[in-house]
Amino acid sequence: MSDQIQEFLDIPRDFFKEGTQFLNRCTKPDRREFIKISQAVGVGFLVMGAVGYLVKLIHIPVNNVLVGGA
């Protein structure tokens, strides 16, 4: 019975310990790394926007043909 309670109490303790170890290993990105990440995110936004625009561009005429311009 006490083993089960001990295992139950070890879960949050281990989680907290691993979390603090992770935060201690984390570092702020330097300027070059930050710019590289920002560029990758920007390119992703542009690609997803272009894909959405093309889908909408194709969807409008197809929808008009199917619905009949109602």
Domain ranges for the chain: 1-68
User: Taking the model in full, what pTM does it have?
Assistant: 0.58
3-state helix, strand, coil in the chain (%, to 5): 85, 0, 15
| Closest by Cα among 50, 69, 49, 70 to 61 | 69
pLDDT digit string (tens) for the chain, length 70 residues: 678 888 888 889 999 999 999 999 999 999 999 999 999 999 999 999 999 999 999 998 888 888 875 5
Q: How far apart are CA 70 and CA 68, in angstroms?
A: 6
Neighbouring C-beta atoms of residue 31, cutoff 10 Å: 7
Contact between 29 and 37 under an 8 Å Cβ cutoff? The reply is yes
